[in-house]
Structure 1
Amino acid sequence: MKLSRFAAALSAPLLTAALAFTGAGAAHSAQLADPPHYVALGDSYSSGVGAGSYDSGSGSCKRSSRAHPALWAAANPVASFSFTACSGARTGDVVAGQLGPLNAATGLVSVTVGGNDAGFSDVMTTCVMGSESECLRRVQEARDYVATTLPGKLDQVYTAIRDRAPAARVVVLGYPRLFKLEGTCNGGMSERKRAALNAAADDINAVTAKRAADHGFGFGDVTTTFAGHEICSGDAWIHSVTWPVENSYHPTAAGQSGGYLPVLRSAT
């Protein structure tokens, strides 16, 4: 597999998880009083890349009926459901192209975003195809970006959401750790590579949770629900390198229903 092809095909973010949603949004933990107008925003972890069963009308956005927003909307009464999440989306893409359905009547918003801003595709390509030292260097570059630049990017998204949907409950969902450590793993991913990638996931989750709380939004941590189901666990809910290659390092249908959906459900 050529590096350029692998890099072009990967399109999604890094992650972590638990059933609790935290921060200022915890004050909104009671159930929604009325069927909400629900808008699902974000990147491929929200659109459902890797879960299959894609809406043909969504094109390259790859919106899946097995993605956690669609599963939540199917299982709960909703006044309307607008699904604008798109594979490969960065923070700027969410602001520029996904916020159209938001308005004063919007009651619920969910979003995953930030991993693509931090260069997830290039990071994973480097770590899969390159040496351990190359991987660790590229991961550190991503972690530096997460610490210094990503907070401002997330602020722009969250401010835009609140401006357009002032009454909505907003649930920001994190990313899972990709790998189980202290075990054998195929594909050239050494223990140090896996540990570095997991640490980067923890970084992006910590930054995302802080920015969400500062905007009064709930944060859904999925690291606990995915625990025991990482790559190399023997019961993975995340694809390793696979075909089609765009599914690589994305949740499976089981990851959407068992890893993400319970967290979104507990936050609403």
Structure 2
Amino acid sequence: MHSVPLRRAVTALASALALAGAAASPAAAAPRTVELVNLGDSYSAAYGTGGLQQADIPRECAQGTGRDHVDKLASHPRVEVTLDAACAGYTTHEVRALVEDEPLVRDALAEADAVTLTMGGNDIQWGRFVQACSAPAEAQYGPGPCDTMLAQAPGLIASAAGSAAETVAAVDETSDARVVVLGYPHLFDAGQDGPLVSAERAAQLNDWTDELNTALAAGVEEEGAVFVDVTDRFRGHGVGSADPWILFGPEAGEHNLHPTERGYLSGYFPGLLGQLARAC
């Protein structure tokens, strides 16, 4: 495994993403453009921002069509997103298969200075937890199915975190880039009962999101990646809040329980940009 983060990635990112905005001294060399590759699941693929499109890779790979944190990062004058291969529905294993087996991805990673991604949520099939623990499901089937799912959470989370670490290691084998893994927000406002989920179940599901983020952070940081926790930036904006940044409703369809465009731009983007700048 490569030693990460390497000095060339740190130097490039520091030049391109410094937030101070001070002009370079006359003697300083002009900062070069940072080449960035985006991988991961639907939370890296702009799901929730609009329609659907096929990613520019020769595999089935769905992405949203609106603006997200990656799109905004691409507008930075010193950042070039050379490949966006985030795919909705992908597990850590599928992301790793892209890294190991897809020539287009491997070629982009070989030249990359930074790699960004979210992963792990599909490994534990988080949607099944929400379905089993929803208020309508509990009204029909009682608390048993939800309690059974929640009892399985520790093992599923441990497995997802271990696989995420292996995926970072696979990136390291291909690239000297700095790897930045972003976590997941709380999906629900746990302040009161709602039509989707009770306050008690919302709090439990949010607690397990925290457990997943903690396990992912430990696993990927062991492999030299940076982990960005976004829960504080999304706080107060879950489903059921006065200003939700998470989609829920019949009109959202398959985009349900994904960030809105504002969620990506106000929740994910500042955390990503700030962490890259601080890390450099």
Matched, 1:171 2:169: no
Residue 230, structure 1, aligned to residue 213, structure 2: no
Aligned to 1:146: 157
Whole-angstrom CA distance in 1 between matches of 2:113 and 2:200: 43
Aligned residue for 1:260, secondary structure, equals helix
Q: What secondary structure sits across from 2:110 in the alignment?
A: coil
1:219 is matched by which residue type in structure 2?
F
* Partners of 1:241 and 1:120 in 2: CA distance: 17
Q: Normalized against structure 1, the TM-score is what?
A: 0.82
Residue 106 of structure 2 corresponds to which residue in structure 1? 100
Q: 1:56 offset after TM fit, Å?
A: 5.4
The count of residues paired between Structure 1 and Structure 2 equals 241
Q: CA RMSD in A?
A: 2.3
> Unmatched 5+ residue regions in structure 1?
1-23
Rate the CA distance shift 1:159–1:240 in 2: closer, same or farther, 3 A.
same
* Letter aligned with residue 64 of structure 1: T
CA deviation string 1:118-169 (max 9, x = no partner) = 111222222235223322321331332113x223211220101111112x11
| Aligned position for 1:7 | none
Instruction: Mark the runs of 5 or more structure 2 residues left unpaired by the alignment.
Output: 17-30, 100-104
The answer on 1:42 being equivalent to 2:40 is: yes
For 2:85, the equivalent position in structure 1 comes to: 84
Residue type at the aligned position of 1:222: V
Q: CA deviation at 1:62?
A: 2.0
Q: How much has 1:199 moved relative to structure 2?
A: 1.1
Partner of 2:75: 74
- Aligned residues of 1:136 and 1:193 also touching (Cα < 8 A): no
Find the partner of 2:269 among 252, 256, 261: 261
Query: Do the aligned partners of residues 117 and 56 (structure 1) sit closer, same or farther apart at CA in structure 2, a change above 3 Å counting?
Result: closer
* Residue of 106, 109, 115 corresponding to 2:115: 109
Counterpart in the other structure of 2:145: 134
Task: Report the Cα distance in structure 2 between the residues aligned to 1:43 and 1:217, rounded to whole angstroms.
Answer: 17
Moved >3 Å (runs of 4+): 27-33, 53-60, 98-104
**Any conservation in 1 of the 2:61–2:86 contact (CA below 8 Å)?**
no
Report the counterpart of residue 245 of structure 1 in structure 2: 253
The 1:110–1:160 alpha-carbon spacing in structure 2 relative to 1, beyond 3 Å, is same
Comparing 213-222 and 59-68, the one that deviates more:
59-68
Q: Classify the secondary structure of the residue corresponding to 1:186.
A: coil
Give distance in 1, aligned partners of 2:107 and 2:86. 12
- 2:24 counterpart residue number: none
Counterpart CA distance in 2 for 1:86 and 1:57 is: 8
Residue identity opposite 2:79 in structure 1: V
| CA distance in structure 2 between the aligned counterparts of 1:80 and 1:48, rounded to whole angstroms | 14
Q: Which has the larger radius of gyration?
A: 2
Separation in 2, partners of 1:239, 1:197: 16
RCO higher in structure (CA 8 A, sep ≥6): 1
User: Residue deviations 1:69-88, cap 9 Å, x none?
Assistant: 12211234234421000100
Q: Deviations over 1:1-52 (max 9, x none)?
A: xxxxxxxxxxxxxxxxxxxxxxx97x95845453111100000000011111
Q: Where does residue 190 of structure 2 map in the other structure?
A: 181
Shift of the 208–76 alpha-carbon distance from structure 1 to 2, 3 Å rule, reads: farther
On the 8 A contact 2:49/2:67 being kept in 1, the answer is yes
**Identical residues among aligned pairs (%):** 30
Distance 1:142 1:31 in 2: 41
Is 1:192 aligned to 2:203, yes or no? no
- Is this contact kept in 2: 1:53–1:66, CA < 8 A? no
